[in-house]
Structure 1
Amino acid sequence: MKKLSFLVLTAIGTSFLIASCAHEEEQTCNEEQVRVEPKKGNEFDQALASELGADDYGMRHYVIAFLKKGPNQDQSEEEVRRLQRAHMDNIGKLAEQRKLVVAGPFMDDTELRGIYIFDVETVEEAEELTKTDPAIKAGRLVMELHPWYGSAALIKTAEIHKTVSKKEI
């Protein structure tokens, strides 16, 4: 079998994670193959890492959602405004419940409308949360859900956002 090797270089702050993985019939990535460059800058904070549920790389599991145009786009302008307001209110509710870490629209006009990053363990949990969105219920939006691995610090986004926004959406 042909063997394919690759390197993954991920910047996290000013630190870099370098992983070397081999690929034959299925991808393997053994601990012996992962090297981490010495950390420079901010010192490790065990209490914060524990609070955020971070692993040794400062990462954790989430579920990411891609919001896409749904099959029902024929609502009146008034109904579209009402659904958008209800959609935004639902985002706020999920953020207050600490289930939604990041949400935002894409800035181009394509089928892909926005993203959510849910702080849940499973796609099934995220799917239940998406059912609370009035725009999804109305078929104006649909969501594509995927397990995702990202910085544990994302959990602090909503808290920090409150300190940098002058207006509410």
Structure 2
Amino acid sequence: MKKLILSFTLFLSIILMASAQSTYDEALAKKLGADDIGMKKYVMAFLLRGDRVSEYTPEQRQEIQAGHMANIGKMADMGKLVLAGPFFGNEDLRGIYVFNVQSLEEAKALTETDPAIIAGVLKMDLKEWYGSAGLMMVNEIHAKVAKSSIK
């Protein structure tokens, strides 16, 4: 039985490797910054509820949020922000960013331009992360499936 499982696993691995090799796009991999297994380093930012939220009126927080959203657009346009979005059902963990940067320091500098960070409404916890280089295409794909944009 063990020989059968081992043989099947080996056979499946060979098929999957052949399939991966036949669909490999060297130019795309290079464009996206992929390594040999199609991965790359990113920096992930966990957006946490800041310590100064209660210092602002709802109107002020709305203005800060508008600046936060504009900053997201700016970072995405620069090619530095790959992915951003809120979490549901958690008061302290507000959302994530995935940055296309080489270091925690570069990501920190980008987060420091965010009006919500400056105001203390949000704070960031930055972590290096290794994920698919294909994630770099999410904004291009999103533009094709979004009927309207976030205001």
For Structure 1 versus Structure 2, the TM-score category normalised by the shorter chain is 0.7 to 0.9
Structure 1 or 2: more helix by fraction? 2
Paired residue type of 1:38: M
Rate the CA distance shift 1:84–1:56 in 2: closer, same or farther, 3 A: same
Gaps of 5+ in 2: 1-11
Task: For residue 40 of structure 1, report the CA deviation from its aligned partner.
Answer: 3.0
Kindly, what percent of the aligned residue pairs are identical? Answer: 50
Q: Which residues of structure 1 form unaligned runs of 5+?
A: 1-14, 17-36
Give the distance between the partners of 2:53 and 2:140, measured in 1 at CA.
34
Deviation at 1:103, TM superposition (A): 0.2
Equivalent residue, structure 2, for 1:52: 32
Structure 1 SS opposite 2:19 = coil
> When you count strand as a share of all residues, which structure comes out higher?
1
* Separation of aligned partners in 1, 2:77 and 2:142: 12
Measure how far apart 1:109 and its partner are: 2.7
TM-score by length of 1: 0.76
- Report which structure shows greater RCO (CA 8 Å, sep ≥6): 2
CA 1:39 to 1:138, structure 2 compared with 1: closer, same or farther past 3 Å?
farther
Answer with 89-98 or 158-167: which moved more. Answer: 158-167
Give the CA deviation at 1:38: 2.1
Runs of 4+ in 1 over 4 A off after TM superposition: none
- After superposition, the CA RMSD in angstroms is 2.1
- Aligned counterpart in structure 2 of residue 122 of structure 1, from 103, 107, 111: 103
Aligned residues: 137
How big is the shift at 1:167?
1.4
Aligned to 2:141: 160
TM-score relative to the length of structure 2: 0.85
